[in-house]
Structure 1
Amino acid sequence: MDISAEPYLIGSGRLPTLPLQRYLPRLPEDSLGHWLRAHVPPGAWVLDPLGLHPQVSLEAARAGYRVLVACNHPLMAFILQVLAQAPPLAAFQAALAHLLTSRRGDQRLEVYLSALYQTPCPRCKATIPARGFLWQRGAAQPYARLLHCPHCGEQGEHTLAPEDGQLLAQIGHAALHRARALARIATEATGEARAAAEALLRFYPPRALTVLFTLLNRIEGPGVTPEHKSLLTALLISLCDRATTLWPWPETSLRPRALQTPPTFIEHNLMLELEHSPAAWTAGTTPLPLTHWPDLPPESGGICLFRGRMRALAAQPHLPPVRAVLVVITRPSPAFWSLSTLWSGWLWGEEVARPLYPLLNPRTQSWHWLAGALQNALQPAHRCADPAARLWFFGDELTPATALAGLLGPHASGWGLVGLAFDPDAPAVQSTWQARLPAPKENSENPKTVLQQAVRRTLADFGEPADYLPLYLAGLLALLRAGLLPAHLGDLTPGYAARLQAMLDEVLADTGLVTRLHARAEGESGPRWWLAETPWQGTPLADRVEKAVLSLLLNQPEVTREDLAQALRRAFPGWVTPRQALVQAILTSYAQPLEADPNRWQLRPQEQPAQRRRDLNAVTQALRRLAERLGYRVEGETPLLWVHPTSAEVSYAFYGLASAMVTRFLQAPHPTARHHVLVLPGSRAGLLAYKMQRDPRLATALQRGWHVLKFRHLHHVAGQADLSHDLWEALLDSDPPLWRETAQMSMF
């Protein structure tokens, strides 16, 4: 089976603004569209067999494709429908105004709900809305409040006021709303499902439940038009997420990996959140045609939504010819799957939520569950697909177990892998699969031997130490090529992933094969492995990336970070995609941002080749004059040698270069020189120091008789009037290369 290394697609390099953003795969805008335009003719039918990321259908439809979506999750189906309509901000504002101006007794609903978050300003004593309240996990009340007083300007974190405690006491435990919250999801549920639903309610403070169910009661009441109800339901979905105790303080956009309240969390002011929540629903400006099966969208592009599982869709008559299948997943999130089941019940009732009951239990959401879910969708998708159809797979927040699920799911469904790309920063994988590809024949090779060969090949590809995940991916692909991965998920047990990892760990513990090292670089720290038999093999990835970045800067007067990222992903496909931290270190070493546009970079004037040739010539002349002053004889050019006049011993070998690509000298140093000196620009010293931190081999080699001498320091030493051998030796290492952290380039 031939599996090619593909460039990792980053599209525009930006992430779209979407509801429930932190739970969704971090799929860059237009990366899917880029793949479609390269592999599928415009206007063709494409299939999303999972329907769990609205961006898949929206992006494909905007690109002019007709998208068939099988979606069994009521929440995600609703989100897709609203986003396809692209309602304007004014529509949300009108619906909100109608809701909040409605009466609750003798006061407006907005006044009643806003009062739940009122707090006195600690400076001017005015009553103002708190931005939020800070809690310690398990505490009976908050320990602080966040505020920004519009009257006196006081802002920040302040201790709780007595009035805040009194307000909480009035709210109490919100028993009525808590009972209704449970009834909406699990009136008829018993046993484990009901217990799981009750446990989820603990992630909602009493004040949050009061606000949520007051709003829900009003939305379901008389006087709310269907259009307004749909828009308000959308905002309530955003509010259901912002109301939980799963938001750590200080805040972060990272998804909660476990269904657990962080040690310190923020209780948001849900009335302020209600004002801000339309932003996530109004990023799209152009409505897209959306129909419900069996009605079809126009040939110019659109979405056809099938409310059900892929298996049920595959059984429908007269399915259109599918030219591509699109699968986008992320690491299973117990928080999302459990809470989205809860929210579905709250918004649409127990009958809608009942099919999702198994998701209430986070223990069911393992790699084995994910692989099975993929097979359940992709097996019928394979049967529906055109013989020439391809499948595009994207999975982020990659772990060894989810990488295994992402490979076994399509493989066990009859798809054949033809290409793969890996982003080490996300970490994420993109893979291309082909329908009707013959499955690899099973063989009797030893899996451990296959893994050993894969590790050896992959490290040779890198030319430098690699971390665990690309080695694991390479091992998986080698097992797949050899026909050693199970073709039927029914043959697997949940312990298979652990056994596979244990086998690779055994390979990586073989000191006859590899050596374990430790990198300490910003953005690239942690364990690394390299071949035990040789310190060097080939050109390191870091040097190849440096050469590619420099070439791009030399050939283009200006380059954007996005253009640079795209070019590097084309130049380094598969699993050797360079990390952003390395690219940023190289860019900072050679280039500078434009004042008018910090996203555009250009080569510094002193880095032009002609100038660097003059610098190197000046360095050579300075070394020759120094040799004469210190009594050495000069021989050679690269390296330039200082030879003792009587013993003929080579005391120093100088290697002049304008880059930080020093490995070629470390691999083949002068055989008899006592000291080796790399002579390079000061602007390159920081990059070299960074490379030493990320590649322990460099640091080790440079500690064994090697020195680093910067151009300017050489000229400073040469200017010493009383220079002696002792002073030369003292000054040689007095200005070592140091790495200073810089703001890291972020594509997302």
Structure 2
Amino acid sequence: MDEGHLSAFAPTLSLPPGDDASMAEQVGAPFAIPVLASILEHWPPGAVASIFCPNTSACATPDRYALAVDPDPLSLLSLAVQMTGPGPDAIAAAFTQLLDANYRGRPWGQVLQDLYLTSCPACWRPARIVAYHWHGYPPTLDSRAVRCEHCGFAGDTAVEPADRMAAAETKPGRSLHWQMMARVTPPQHELREKTEHALRFYTPRALWALWQSLRILADFSLPVDQRRALQWVLAEALWRGSNVATQPDLLWQASLRRPYRFEERNLWEVLHEALAYVQARSGRLPRSLITRSEMEQKVGPGSVFLGQRWPDAKTPHPGPDQMALALLAVPAPLPLYWLLRFVWSGWLFGRGAAARLQSHLELRPGGGEALETMLHDASKALSARLLPQGKLIAQWRWRGEADHSAAVLASLPNFTGELRVAAAGEREWVALAVSAASASTAASERRNLRKVGSATMREVIRRRGEPVRRERLQPHILAAWRRLGDLPPPATRQSHLEALLDPRTSPRAMVIWDRSGESWNSGQTPWWWLQEPPADWRPASDLAELRLVQLLTASSFPTTDALAWQLTLALPADLPPDRPWIDALIQSYCHPTDDGLALRLQDDPGRRRKELAALTGALVQVGLALGFEAADWSQDDLRVVEWLQGGRRRASFLLTATTALTPRLWRSREPLPGLQRFLVLPGGRAGLVQWRADHQPLWASAVASGGWTFVKFRHLRE
């Protein structure tokens, strides 16, 4: 798979959803629909794309090439509706049928609306409660948000006694509770107690309304496509109606703890939001994207599968010029995330569908061993069944310090491609690794663990062009050991890594620094760097800054995340920028407009070139007026002015519009007697200069030892 095909769909990967994830990512994970669409659109014509989650290696048989989203039925539901779902009018008709269903002599929709009726505190006419606010353990009703269509009032008001009474009385009865929980696990099942924990993430009123809606749907006689569409609507409502929907941070917690403060939304409005969402997406993914195939779609306990088979039995395999792809989604070890998906699957499809996710409930943050056990057999089987020129792509996501990339890489087959890491959001990353199915290494090629690890460290640092911390080195070391068949067993793996990454015993041709660019001392964070950087040295941070200016010169971007993704994909796969550095660049170069983020007017490249030429001429004239000899020259997008006296350099001015100067500053780090050095930059780069000095040891060391003084453009004009 070449870089173009990889870049085409990498920005849409999202597993599991993060703080700013859309509802499609919440319900449609582990494979969001844009991932599938982009893969199929950009994969070479006539090729076969096979998508698998763990535990689906049985689908990868020699005579079947399948697009499978098993074991997660919610993912398949989202995919099936978007590929073959009915039109908006048909979904609306089925939704109306749901709301018109008889519930104890009244339309079900009317019952839902009455749950949230009150009097407007301003005009005393009927008004709608938009949300209830709860807090504490156990939860206490705190306030309510009211909206009046008569006088326009909208805001929070105090809770009335009738609200507390309704909250206490409206809850599932024993029969409904037993019926819905039995759809997930039997009463005596070992997971029944854990399953019951999921109920704490709903208020009794919301749970009753959602369960009644699901039970009414189960009694309907609807065409298959309309039933699936309504199931997706209710799946969206199960997420939006929970008390963690407005607090995505809770999905990353290790315990099954209810939030201290949460919001209970109006289920009538939630259902209509979910309806509009599904209507906008149903049937929008063309079936023609999966070519030469017969489609089989089943959602339910019997089979969760969307497959493609070759129509001609005489040609069960692709031709030698075709390729095959398997995309393996790595489940995140998030107990709450998988518990919710587990019970949702049972409520929607029954016990058989929920059982497919049972193994995911044992995952725990930091549980690298569990990930290895889950992934190793499936990935090995998938890789073995791909064509020799096929590819296996693994995707996973982590947050903050809980980086599971090392465990994931160690569990997957031999990877020949580089690890791509993209900054998905604040403190969040998505990793994508590509493996050739035919990669193998004989035992005779195995090498000493330290030798292989040291060589890998040097290569990673050389390509990145900047000092690197252990968090970035560790997954590459493990991947290198795996490629050569030298991966130590789990019991001793960490000790080998600790020995290799011990800053007191630096590998050959490397030095260990602290953040300020000084020699490392105990108690400080170590940074590994090369004793001699390569001649063609292009640091990742410099490339990111130059590329960002090019992107902004060409167009604007709607959000910070959109620009961050595009910048990540515009760089080589092995030089991903850190999100804090991207944020610093955006703050320095961008300003908000009606179209989103745009390049500041004063940073237009043509304008900056004219400004640099004018300042260069001014410095030459000032030097001559002061009695110095003055010389100037240009190189790439920077200019140099030097003042000389008696043939000796007295002052050197480096003028440029960017801070992409790391190699030049580093090579000018040695002080020269009688020479003063000045770095002349726009005032808007001051934040980048400070950021580099605080976070990049090369800059901190070079600026301090070279005696560089920062001068703003406006100071020269004055």
> Given the two structures, how large is their TM-score scaled by the length of structure 2?
0.78
Offset from partner CA, 1:61-92 (integer Å, 9 cap, x none)? xxxx9853262444433333223213222222
Superposition deviation, residue 101 in structure 1? 1.8
2:619 corresponds to 1:619: yes
C-alpha displacement of 1:276 = 0.6
One-letter amino acid of the counterpart of residue 48, structure 1: I
Partners of 1:171 and 1:571 in 2: CA distance: 54
CA distance in 2, matches of 1:298, 1:588: 42
The question of whether the paired residues in 1 share the 8 Å contact of 2:612 and 2:655 is answered with no
Deviations 1:712-745 (CA, angstroms, capped at 9, x unpaired): 21232xxxxxxxxxxxxxxxxxxxxxxxxxxxxx
Supply the distance in 1 between the matched residues of 2:460 and 2:616 (Cα, whole angstroms).
36
Gap runs ≥5 in structure 1:
54-64, 292-296, 487-491, 520-525, 717-748
Separation (CA, whole Å) in 2 of partners of 1:206 and 1:592: 46
| Letter matched to residue 230 of structure 1 | R
Does the C-alpha gap of structure 1 residues 550 and 219 become closer, same or farther in structure 2, counting only changes over 3 Å?
closer
Contact 1:642-1:651 at 8 Å conserved across structures: yes
Provide closer, same or farther for how the CA distance between residues 611 and 327 of structure 1 changes in structure 2, counting only shifts above 3 A. Answer: same
Distance 1:269-1:714 versus aligned 2 partners, 3 A rule: same
Give the superposition deviation at 1:116. 2.2
1:633-712 alignment, distance < 5 Å: 633-634=628-629, 637=632, 638=640, 640-641=642-643, 652-663=651-662, 664-668=664-668, 671-673=672-674, 675-699=676-700, 701-703=702-704, 705-712=707-714
Structural mapping, 1:87-486, within 5 Å: 87-171=86-170, 174-190=173-189, 192-221=190-219, 228-248=226-246, 251-252=247-248, 255-258=251-254, 259-284=256-281, 286=283, 299-300=291-292, 303-304=295-296, 320-321=316-317, 323-354=324-355, 356-363=357-364, 366-397=367-398, 402-411=404-413, 417-425=416-424, 426-439=428-441, 441=443, 445-485=447-487
Instruction: Quote the residue 1:731 is aligned against.
Output: none
Structure 1 residue 93 displacement after superposition? 1.8
Going from structure 1 to structure 2, the CA distance change for 1:183 and 1:516 (only over 3 Å counts) comes to same
When structure 1 is superposed on structure 2, of 357-366 and 161-170 the one drifting more is: 357-366
Provide the rounded CA distance (Å) in 2 between the counterparts of 1:290 and 1:658. Answer: 50
2:462·2:533 contact (CA, 8 Å) conserved in 1? no
Q: Is residue 53 of structure 2 the alignment partner of residue 50 of structure 1?
A: yes
Q: Distance in 2 between matches of 1:693 and 1:617?
A: 33
Q: CA shift at 1:285, angstroms?
A: 5.6
Aligned residue type for 2:348: L
Q: 2:529 aligns to what?
A: 531
Question: Which ranges of structure 2 fall in alignment gaps of 5 or more residues?
Answer: 15-20, 57-63, 319-323, 518-523, 633-639
Matches of 1:117 and 1:668, distance apart in 2 = 70
Deviation by residue 1:215-269 (Cα, 9 ceiling, x = unmatched): 1222223566655543322222222223333234xx4588444443233222222
What do residues 2-35 of structure 1 show as CA deviations (whole Å, max 9, x unaligned)?
x999996254956899765236668788666666
Residue type at the aligned position of 1:179: W
| 2:230 match: secondary structure | helix
Q: Could you give the per-residue CA deviations for residues 458-508 of structure 1, whole angstroms, max 9, x where no partner exists?
A: 22322223344432232223323443226xxxxx55x67755664565358
User: Over aligned residues, Cα RMSD in angstroms?
Assistant: 4.6
Could you say what secondary structure the match of 2:421 adopts? strand
Q: Is the 8 A contact 2:95 2:230 kept in 1?
A: yes
The answer to whether the 8 A contact 2:449-2:486 is kept is yes
Q: Write the distance in 2 (CA, Å) between the matches of 1:518 and 1:179.
A: 62
| CA distance in structure 2 between the partners assigned to 1:199 and 1:482 by the alignment | 45
Describe the SS at the equivalent of 2:617: helix
Corresponding residue for 2:17? Answer: none
1:21 corresponds to which residue? 25
Q: Which residue pairs with 2:61 in the alignment?
A: none
What amino acid is the match of 2:607?
A: E
Equivalent pair of 2:25/2:32 in contact (CA under 8 Å): no
Instruction: Give the counterpart letter for 2:185 in structure 1.
Output: A
Q: Higher mean Cα deviation, 231-240 or 279-288?
A: 279-288
Measure the CA separation in 2 of the matches of 1:12 and 1:213. 37
SS at match of 2:115: helix
Matches within 5 A, 1:596-635: 604=604, 607-625=607-625, 627-628=626-627, 633-634=628-629
1:206 to partner: Cα distance: 0.9
> C-alpha displacement at 1:277, in angstroms?
0.6
Whether the aligned pair in 2 keeps the contact of 1:450 and 1:478 (CA below 8 Å) is yes
User: Structure 2 vs 1, CA of residues 34 and 499 (structure 1 numbering), >3 Å: closer, same or farther?
Assistant: farther
User: Quick one: structure 1 residues 211 and 496, their matched pair in 2 at CA, closer, same or farther if it must change by over 3 Å?
Assistant: farther
Separation in 1 of the partners of 2:214 and 2:170? 18
* Counterpart check, 1:515 vs 2:513: yes
CA separation of 1:102 and 1:356: change in aligned 2, threshold 3 A: same
Q: Distance in 2 between matches of 1:171 and 1:98?
A: 24
C-alpha separation between the residues in 2 aligned to 1:19 and 1:659?
39
Change (3 A) 1:255 1:462: same
Contact 1:678 1:706 in 2 (8 A): yes
Instruction: With the length of structure 1 as denominator, give the TM-score of the two structures.
Output: 0.75
Write the letter of the residue equivalent to 1:475: I
| Residues 135 and 265, structure 1, Cα contact 8 Å, conserved in 2 | yes
Cα distance, 1:122 vs. partner?
3.6
Q: Distance in 2 between matches of 1:508 and 1:468?
A: 13
Rounded to whole Å, the distance in 2 between the matches of 1:350 and 1:26 is 20
Distance 1:601 1:713, change over 3 A: closer
* Residue of structure 2 in register with 1:62 after alignment: none
Q: Which amino acid aligns with 1:69?
A: A
**For residue 26 of structure 2, what is the amino acid of its counterpart?**
R
Name the count of aligned residue pairs.
665
Alignment partner for residue 558 of structure 1, among 554, 560, 565?
554
Alpha-carbon contact 1:624-1:634 (below 8 Å) kept: yes
- Judge conservation of contact 2:334–2:364 (CA < 8 Å) in 1: no
- SS of match in other structure, 1:143: strand
